[in-house]
Structure 1
Amino acid sequence: MRFMSYAAAAAIAAVFTVNTAVAADISGAGATFPYPIYAKWADAYKKETGIGLNYQSIGSGGGIKQIEAGTVTFGASDKPLPGEELDKFGLAQFPMVMGGIVPVINIEGVKPGEIVLDGPTLAKIFMGEVTKWDDEAIKKLNPKAKLPSQAIAVVHRSDGSGTTFNFTYYLSDVSADWKSKVGSDASVEWPTGIGAKGNEGVANNVAQTKGSIGYVEYAYALQNKLTYTNMVNKAGKTVTPTSKTFQAAAADADWSSKPGFGVILANQPGDESWPMTAGTWILMYKQPKDTAASAEALKFFAWAYKNGDKMAEELDYIPMPDKVVEDVEKMWANDIKDASGKPVFAMN
């Protein structure tokens, strides 16, 4: 598989986060989780159409604030908004792609997948209750590993983050202590650790800090050559983060069961399911002030659904199933309209 290098990602970031976009460019802001694939799609789309994407990778919380304030054409969030909030702001919501959240560690001599963690132990680490790598809880899961008597340095997100929402949702599902003491949200009161901004910030901090652990979207682990852990899933099986295990977690999702397709994929059943799989969503106004800009954005998203699957898979994201794409495109026609009631964007 081919993966985008960190240097290439940084170069693309420089292009796609500038605020001085030309008039025809599409403006969006939000989640860092899907940023690598949005940047890759945008690069290919600009070469094909001449239309650029001005996407600010600022975190899901920032993206929600910007779309609700009307400063961008679309917001992007890994935390789906509930139906009440969508209705309050007159927003449509739809999933664009799926991926996996992985624990990443920095232990000298340890390679990707050589350490196994389970949900309860991961929760104890991020609660500050398991503080050394040779703790009995970790040793029990890794009886053959040479674990150092080294302090664990916890790294977490400092910004409002859909990655944090999905990560803490999973921890709440597997740990009653975590659920009662910390809970699940885009921002939480972390019991321990240091904060970093964006998936990029967490990845950089883990890369630079010996003995550290953090959580990032899988593409960031690959780009930064970070060591990820394997996980024990809901079925009690040890699984590795791969396209196959992310897809297994998403296989039985009923996307139409929630307003705005807001299905959470954490801790799904199945022997091969990766326990921290997540979707990422786009937010747009149902009756936008700038219908031309919204039409351009929907044209880009339609192109990405149609042409972007291979690019997504190259970065180990999971494309949306065809049936979901069909339902989303029907929703665009039914819900995203101009003042006269005409759809902003019509599929060819």
Structure 2
Amino acid sequence: MKKLLMLGLLLTGAASAQTITGAGASFPYPLYSKMFAEYKAATGVNVNYQSVGSGSGQTQILQRTVDFAGSDNPMPADKMKSAPGQLVHVPTAIGAVVPVYNIPGVTKLRLDGPTLADIYLGKIKRWNDPKIKALNPDVTLPGLPITVARRSDSSGTSYVFTDYLSSVSGDFKSRVGRGNAVKWPVGSAAKGNDGVAGLVKNTPARLATWNWCTPSKTS
């Protein structure tokens, strides 16, 4: 599954101080680190961005504890209306949310939307399930149990992924739905993209979703 998203910065009026504070999505953090380092070298202004998840970033910008927030999904209209000041969405990067896995001996794997939904619902429990085998007839799949990894924090990645699964599976839509934070039926959780990546890397038979991003040509 691949789904493109636009990363938005939610901006409020930042003071002309030598430090600008921000918080939010972990997805663009590596990109931001490079961008903000270059900005400081050129201007002398330090940008302090905390990678805490899209949901936390949205909360902090509403509380005006930061000057800007990063979010994978746009802030809902009702939250925008409740903001103490005007907020503006600014696209900064385009990325994709894709499945990643760690299966011993398997270097190529195909999974479609309905199959992913059934895995995250706990209906497909092993890698050699007939539905997965049908999608990968030339791959030798082990009978290991599938352990999914997911975000523990309020995350725009979770919103993008659950939005996709809800669009391809009525069962997933009714049981889990879409959102930055949902009640997952199965799996173990970790904070941030780096935490999820660590779970997948260090534990065989893991499945999770991951992001990559590139600077937006429209920003």
Q: Give the TM-score normalised by the residue count of structure 1.
A: 0.56
2: distance between equivalents of 1:146 and 1:48?
A: 53
Q: Which amino acid aligns with 1:71?
A: T
Bigger relative contact order (CA 8 A; separation at least 6): 2
The 8 Å contact of residues 86 and 92 in structure 1, kept in 2 or not, is answered as no
C-alpha distance after superposition, 1:316-345 (max 9, x if no partner)? 525143xxx4xxxxxxxxxxxxxxxxxxxx
2:45 alignment counterpart: 51
1:25 alignment counterpart: 19
Alignment counterpart, residue 187 of structure 2, candidates 172, 193, 200 = 193
Alignment counterpart, residue 151 of structure 1, candidates 145, 154, 164 = 145
Alignment counterpart, residue 99 of structure 1, candidates 86, 95, 98 = 95
C-alpha distance after superposition, 1:268-291 (max 9, x if no partner)? xxxxxxxxxxxxxxxxxxxxxxxx
The 8 Å contact of residues 54 and 155 in structure 2, kept in 1 or not, is answered as yes
The 8 Å contact of residues 103 and 206 in structure 2, kept in 1 or not, is answered as yes
Q: Which amino acid aligns with 1:319?
A: S
2: distance between equivalents of 1:146 and 1:199?
A: 29
2: distance between equivalents of 1:318 and 1:179?
A: 32
Q: Which structure is higher in strand share?
A: 2
2:119 alignment counterpart: 125
1: distance between equivalents of 2:61 and 2:37?
A: 23
Structure 1 stretches lacking a partner, 5+ long: 1-22, 219-315, 326-348
Equivalent residues in 2 for 1:331-342 (5 A)? Answer: none
1: distance between equivalents of 2:187 and 2:78?
A: 34
- Relative distance call for 1:115 and 1:37 in structure 2 (3 A) is same
The 8 Å contact of residues 29 and 62 in structure 1, kept in 2 or not, is answered as yes
2:104 alignment counterpart: 108
Alignment counterpart, residue 196 of structure 2, candidates 195, 202, 212 = 202
The CA deviation at 1:65 is 0.9
The CA deviation at 1:85 is 2.1
Total equivalences in the alignment: 201
Q: Give the TM-score normalised by the residue count of structure 2.
A: 0.88
The 8 Å contact of residues 100 and 317 in structure 1, kept in 2 or not, is answered as no
The CA deviation at 1:96 is 1.5
Structure 2 stretches lacking a partner, 5+ long: 1-16
Alignment counterpart, residue 70 of structure 1, candidates 56, 64, 68 = 64
Q: Which structure is higher in helix share?
A: 1
1:339 alignment counterpart: none
2: distance between equivalents of 1:61 and 1:40?
A: 23
**Larger-Rg structure:** 1
CA RMSD of aligned residues (A): 1.3
Q: Which amino acid aligns with 1:317?
A: T
Of all paired residues, the percent bearing the same amino acid is: 47
